[in-house]
Amino acid sequence: MKKESCIFRVASRPNEGGGHVNRSLALADHLSKSLKIKFVIDNEGRNWMPHIKKSGFDSVVIKNFKKEKIAVSILDGYTFSASELQKWRKISNFLVFICDHNPSIHCYNLAIFPSRKIIDKKNKQILSGLKYALIDKNIHDTKKPRIKQKARNILVCFGVLDSKNATGLTISTLERVLKENPNLKIKVLLTSKSKHLDKIKVQISNMKLNIRLVVNRKNIIPLVHNADLSIGAAGNNLLERTAMGVPSITITTAQNQAHLANHLNRYKATINLGSIDKISIKNFEKTINKLLKNYKLRSAMSQKGKILVDGLGAKRTSKKILNLFNQRKQ
């Protein structure tokens, strides 16, 4: 039986990082069993095409996309205008909108807010909250790491771009921590898309400390699994490390990350130090040392994280989309 079409229109400009692409890929992986998937990316987002292809899906830039009648369209991004949403609505039998804020969008059949709870006053279909966090299914399938009495492995990951160089700030702070804890092993994840990559290479080489730089690592799950403590931003990677049960320190590098960071901090699944623009280096160093020394705190953080984010969000969301789409056809 021929599969009906499903288009993912994903925000993928160079300044938008990889969160939209990667969480859409997580959802596409489940939907591909029932629908024929294709990705439509921004004209400036061609460098994502090999990554999407490696995940098993075709992609095309928006200017080359032939607008045809589509069974299901899924839009993931913050910057789509109301007029663009209306255009997709006209050619789609069923329109899904994925976002982390702006719940006032009104032209969808289903809206998904994976990182916050939304009260639906207009009786529209909304899936919201961490129950629908869209992360790689392999995270759920991977055996969760055991929290060790002594924490030695630290993972630093601020996403694809890290435009504010939170990585550099973290390395400088860890240099101070390493003087008191020389047995620590630190891995720093970056991609070639980061404009600070060369600066970070020089910074690490000048330190002569046990810090290893890992660039363009495709599968980061083993590195997250091996970490006793993770330091990063509050994008999709925070959801991944929380689901893995890895204790973490979070620094927000964009305004739209604040809600998720505060939410997980409230439930003690991470320690949120706030915005990169206002961070206290002294408090940052103090928090790292506190977590390294406190096994019970790390263990409790791990347990709470695994309860809050169980790794099944993409599967739940896929099932809901297919059920609603099939009901609409009847």
Percent with pLDDT over 90 in the chain: 75
Q: Please give the backbone phi and psi of residue 251, each rounded to the nearest 5 degrees, phi first.
A: -125, 125
Q: Please give the backbone phi and psi of residue 108, each rounded to the nearest 5 degrees, phi first.
A: -105, 165
Residue 1 has pLDDT above 80, yes or no: no
Crossing angle for the helix pair 281-293 and 166-180, nearest 10 degrees?
50
pTM: 0.93
- Residue 58's closest CA among 68, 49, 47, 69? 49
Crossing angle for the helix pair 197-205 and 166-180, nearest 10 degrees?
10
What is the per-residue pLDDT across 272-329, written as a single tens digit (0 to 9) for each?
A: 999 999 999 999 999 999 999 999 999 999 999 999 999 999 999 999 999 999 998 7
Kindly report which listed range (96-100, 156-160, 195-199) carries the lowest average pLDDT score. Answer: 96-100
Percent with pLDDT over 70 in the chain: 97
- Given this model, what pLDDT does residue 246 score? 96
CB–CB of 305/269 below 8 Å?
Answer: yes
SS3 224: helix
SS3 9: strand
CB–CB of 206/199 below 8 Å?
Answer: no
What does 16-85 look like in DSSP terms, one character per residue?
A: G-SHHHHHHHHHHHHHTTTEEEEEEE-GGGGGGHHHHHHTT-EEEEGGG-----EEEEEEE-S---HHHH
- Given this model, what pLDDT does residue 299 score? 97
Q: How does DSSP classify residue 10? A: E
Query: Measured between alpha carbons, how far is 303 from 306 in angstroms, rounded to an integer?
Result: 5
Burial of 62 (0-12, 13-18, 19+ CB in 10 A): middle
Domains and CATH numbers, the chain: 4-135+311-329 (3.40.50.2000), 139-308 (3.40.50.2000)
- Given this model, what pLDDT does residue 120 score? 67
Query: Measured between alpha carbons, how far is 45 from 38 in angstroms, rounded to an integer?
Result: 15
Residue 102 has pLDDT above 80, yes or no: no
**Mean pLDDT (whole number) for 173-184:** 93
Residue 196 has pLDDT above 80, yes or no: yes
Count of alpha carbons within 13 angstroms of residue 158, beta-carbon side: 26
Residue tagged 């790794």 (tokens) = 311
Give Cβ neighbours of residue 66 (< 8 Å, ≥ 6 apart): none
SS3 125: coil
Tokens of 154: 């630290």
- Given this model, what pLDDT does residue 142 score? 81
- Given this model, what pLDDT does residue 106 score? 57
- Given this model, what pLDDT does residue 124 score? 66
**Mean pLDDT (whole number) for 187-208:** 93
User: Which neighbouring-strand residues pair with 274?
Assistant: none
Tokens of 193: 């898309």
What is the per-residue pLDDT across 105-143, written as a single tens digit (0 to 9) for each?
A: 556 889 899 988 887 666 568 899 999 999 998 888 887
Average pLDDT of the residues of the chain = 92
**Mean pLDDT (whole number) for 158-177:** 95
User: Which neighbouring-strand residues pair with 128?
Assistant: 113
Kindly report which listed range (3-7, 34-38, 95-99, 292-296) carries the lowest average pLDDT score. Answer: 95-99
Query: Measured between alpha carbons, how far is 278 from 282 in angstroms, rounded to an integer?
Result: 12
**Mean pLDDT (whole number) for 33-42:** 96
- Given this model, what pLDDT does residue 37 score? 98
Q: Find which of 144-153, 192-201, 250-259, 284-293 is predicted with most confidence, using mean pLDDT.
A: 284-293
CB–CB of 89/75 below 8 Å?
Answer: no
